[in-house]
Amino acid sequence: MDWGRAKSVLIFAFLLLNVILGYQLWLNIREGQSANAGANSLPPDTLAIMQQKDISFAANMHIPSDTPKLRDLTFRVTNKLGIGERHELEKPVESKIVFNEKELQSDLGAVIPDLDQYGFDSDRDVEFVFNRMVDNRPMFDVKLELFYSNQKITAYRQDAIELVTGEEAPAQTVISATKALGSLIELHLPNGAVIREIKLGYHGQPFDSETQFWSPSWRVLLEDNSSYYYVDAVSGEVETVS
């Protein structure tokens, strides 16, 4: 046996193994950094609680840094939100237009009233969900749903509202996203939760009246979609919607 050659092969094999293990370690570290990339802006006490409760951020999670001044919204609805009539399209259209604003307006703008006032929110099993937008902020529970099948949009259901202007309340600076998250992480999120998104918009408690009053709110979504958490962006009060 050529021991010199065998020794060289063994050395090369060990070197290759070290490279593979090093690469795997780098991937693990990178994944851990991505999952908690947004954590850098949180205070140390919140980070400590996250570690204790094994709470983390999903990859590409972003924590907004802006704290704008926003007013409460007053608006009228024609029927209870979320139970509007489903309208079948006479001619189904390709579902891919949802992600191209110009194509969406071109194909459905003449069919769906005020389509340009709704912004994309999420993609569910059989529907695309949009929110009514006010000053580029979503009204989380005023929705436009586009139903699809076989990669075709076949129907829609729309919540329609009319904003009431006049004697608006003064605008107030909202609490930061990090403060909203701190309260949730400490008091409300379960162990092992993975936070997918935090977004600023408007939310309110529905009540049996044509006129509704909603306040600026941070919406927090978990990776498993088990619950929505709303944090009042002025008072800091938390509401959980399962």
- Asked if residue 69 lies in contact with residue 173, where contact means CB atoms within 8 angstroms, the answer is yes
* Dist. CA 123–CA 128, nearest whole Å: 5
In the block, tokens 């379960």 appear at 190
- Percent of the chain at pLDDT exceeding 70: 80
Report if residue 237 sits inside a domain: yes
CATH code: domain of residue 143: 3.30.310.160
Range 160-182 average pLDDT: 87
212/99 same-domain check:
no
Q: Do 144 and 153 form a contact (C-beta atoms < 8 A)?
A: no
Q: Of 143, 145, 144, 132, give the one whose Cα is nearest residue 73.
A: 132
Same domain, 209 and 185: yes
Residue 6 counted as domain residue: no
In this structure, the answer to whether residues 215 and 105 fall within a common structural domain is no
In this structure, what CATH number is given to the domain that contains residue 236?
A: 2.40.128.690
- Asked if residue 120 is part of any domain, the answer here is yes
Domain membership of residue 194 (yes or no) is: yes
Does residue 135 lie in a domain region?
Answer: yes
115/146 same-domain check: yes
Q: Are residues 63 and 172 in the same domain?
A: yes
Amino acid identity at 185: I
Mean pLDDT of the chain: 83
Q: Among 159, 190, 212, where does a domain finish?
A: 159
CA distance 35 to 40: 11
Over residues 70-111, the pLDDT tens digits come to: 999 999 887 777 888 999 999 999 999 999 999 999 999 999
pLDDT one-digit tens code per residue, 174-205:
999 999 999 899 989 999 999 999 999 999 87
Report the C-alpha dihedral over residues 4, 9, 11, 15, rounded to 10 degrees.
160
Q: What digits encode the pLDDT tens for the residues 90-101? A: 999 999 999 999
Residue 14 host element (H or E):
helix 3-35
Percent of the chain at pLDDT above 90?
56
- Among 159, 190, 210, where does a domain finish? 159
- Sign of torsion over alpha carbons 62, 63, 65, 67: positive
pLDDT computed for residue 42 by the predictor: 85
**Domain termination site, one of 139, 159, 179:** 159
pLDDT of 172 reads 93
Highest mean pLDDT out of 35-44, 124-133, 166-175: 124-133
Cα distance between residue 160 and residue 146, in whole Å: 14
Please give the Cα distance from 209 to 77 (Å, whole number). 8
Q: Which residues lie below 8 Å from residue 51, measured CB to CB, with a gap of 6+?
A: none
| 225-234 tens-digit pLDDT | 767 899 999 9
Residues 6+ apart with CB under 8 A from 89: 111, 153, 154, 155, 156
pLDDT of residue 204: 87
Q: Cα 21 to the chain's mean position, in Å? A: 35
Query: 196 - beta bridge partners?
Result: none
For residue 218, what are the domain limits?
A: 36-71+166-241
Structurally, the chain folds into a number of domains equal to 2
Together in a domain, 178 and 216: yes
Q: Classify residue 11: in a domain, yes or no.
A: no
Residues 66 and 172 reside in one and the same domain? yes
How many other C-beta atoms are found inside a 10 Å radius of the C-beta of residue 217?
28
Q: Which residues pair with residue 128 across a beta bridge?
A: 123, 146
